[in-house]
Amino acid sequence: IKTTHPYCLPSSATAVMAQQLPLGFQDLKLASLYSAYLDTSYRAILERRRDRWDRVYGQAIAHNRPLRLKWRLKRFIRKGIPHCYRAHVWAYCARVNALRAQYSQDYISSLLRTSLPQDTLVQITADIPRTHVDSKYFSLLHGAGDVEDVALLQPCNLEAIKQFVTPDHPTLRPHLYQILHAYAIHNPSVGYCQGLNFIAGTLLLVTRNVASSFWLLVALVRNVGSDYYESLWGARRDATVLERLFQVCDPELYQHFSSTGTPFGLTNVKWFVSLFTSSLPVETVLRTWDAVFSEGSEALFRVALSLTIRQREKLLQTKLHHELIEAAASLDTRAVECHEVLTSAFAIKLTWRTIVRHRATVEEEQRMEEKQAESRRIAYTRQQEADKLKEREGREGRGERGERVVSFVKEQQQAEAGAKASIDSREVDIVKHTAVTVLV
């Protein structure tokens, strides 16, 4: 069972530059940092953890038996799963076998035979070329290596994946399309959301199996909450929860953010949407996901708090608003010291009950804000209607007064005309009477 760990790169920095980071990532700056980290301490940790996993769980994993001693398994997972065991342990923690048993064996193929809505198809095909562009397995310049379930390509939308299929330089892009296509049909309430491409791509890099990656994606989205992707409401809610936890964990740093007018939640929504895949170095992402599959989204809060608190001195020295935003946005870009990040994350005093309580408070506040906003909208609409009614009545009133004036003028004119006619008649009578008198 024991083999050389794929992350144990040569100690020479030059050799590392010529090689790659875990899972084919090729960022030279990160490679240099990762090489130094391996030489400092992490290589020994990897070797020690691999030996422990081999002795305790190696045989069970090799023979696909249940992993006993849950309390020990949780502790082992927190310290990192060896890469050769990672896909199996993730599937075990996510109960993928029970999930797959609920559907037919050709379920994924049937999903791929179903056409996507045009807008979803456009989004997926636009995002795939942007996914893990620094990994050679998603690059058009390198081969993808062996990937299982290649036969699933046949029932897929061949026209949609034609742009991703390059016979001379095969990549994982068409396989990523399959996963995203199948998931969009499987869960229409979510469909496709930006961020899922990075998550599915990471799963594919670990499992190298389309079906396994699909079922892990289903389990992962279900466990962390589909409201992260249906409307992003869940991610915004948890960003607010994280801000309140941050206020409790480090009041001084939180006050520093507040005094500069910098909202702490401005930079961490992306952490929840992409589950750190678009920001953290890959080894730190994998260590974080080890805990997420084992303990749920509580691990996301722990890692987010750890990333921030570990850089507190740098953040406290930053005084200007825009500089603090830049510093907060770059907290995760060089977090290669994954073992220290996770160790400090699990040292934070935090329980799932606390997170649930904060979530309930934020959701209640959101409902109250929505009710108040709806009340303001209704009041504004009624005021607009009242103003329009008043204006209409004013116009009608002015019209009635105008009609009365015209009628009065006409009556006056008629009265004057009648009086004049009466006078004229009397004058005629007087003339006639005078004429008669003269004749007599």
Environment class of residue 60 by beta-carbon count within 10 Å: exposed (0-12), middle (13-18) or buried (19+)?
Answer: middle
**Which of 146 and 341 is assigned the larger pLDDT?**
341
- Using pLDDT thresholds of 50, 70 and 90, give the confidence band for residue 8: very low
Report pLDDT digits (tens) over 239-249.
899 989 999 99
156 confidence band (pLDDT: 50, 70, 90): low
pLDDT score of 361: 94
Q: Among 67-81, 102-116, 153-167, name the most confident range.
A: 102-116
Q: What's the average model confidence in pLDDT over 203-223?
A: 93
Kindly indicate the confidence band of residue 49, based on its pLDDT and cuts at 50, 70 and 90. Answer: very high
pLDDT band at 269 (very low <50, low <70, confident <90, very high): confident
Q: Are 207 and 213 in contact (CB under 8 A)?
A: yes
Residue 209, φ and ψ in degrees, nearest 5 = -150, 120
By the 10 Å C-beta count (0-12 exposed, 13-18 middle, 19+ buried), 376 is classed as exposed
What would the pLDDT profile of 299-330 be if each residue is shown by its tens digit? 999 999 998 888 888 888 887 667 777 776 66
User: Which one is predicted more confidently, 44 or 268?
Assistant: 44
Q: What percent of the chain has pLDDT over 70?
A: 73
Rounded-to-integer distance, Cα 328 and Cα 322, Å? 10
> Which DSSP helix (H) or strand (E) runs through 376?
helix 352-439
Shortest CA distance to 51 belongs to which of 74, 79, 24? 79
Instruction: Supply the pLDDT for residue 79.
Output: 92
Q: What is the mean pLDDT of residues 331-358?
A: 88
Q: Give the pair of three-digit tokens for residue 244.
A: 């309140």
Any idea what DSSP says for residue 24? G
Tell me the per-residue pLDDT of 380-425, one tens digit each, with 9 for 90 and over: 888 888 788 777 767 666 556 556 656 666 776 776 676 666 655 6
- What distance in Å separates the CA atoms of residue 254 and residue 439, rounded to the nearest whole number? 122
Average pLDDT over residues 100-122: 92
Q: Tell me what pLDDT residue 52 has.
A: 92
- Per-residue pLDDT at 234 exceeds 60: yes
User: What does the pLDDT read at residue 336?
Assistant: 84
pLDDT band at 256 (very low <50, low <70, confident <90, very high): confident
The one-character DSSP state at 115 is P
CA separation for the pair 292, 90 (Å, rounded)? 9
Lowest average pLDDT, out of 4-8, 248-252, 375-379, goes to 4-8
pLDDT at 160 over 80: no
Which residues are registered as beta bridge partners of 209? 148
The model's pTM? 0.78
Beta bridge partners of residue 135, listed in sequence order: 25
Q: Note the pLDDT tens digit of each residue in 58-74.
A: 888 888 888 876 788 99
Name the DSSP class of 42: I
Radius of gyration of the chain (CA): 37
- Residues 234 and 227: beta-carbon distance below 8 Å: yes
pLDDT computed for residue 398 by the predictor = 58
Using an 8 Å Cβ cutoff, are 148 and 108 in contact? no
Distance, in Å, from the CA atom of 79 to the CA atom of 343, rounded to the nearest integer, reads 8
Nearest Cα neighbor of 78 from 117, 48, 49, 109 is: 49
Report which of residues 289 and 13 the model is more confident about.
289
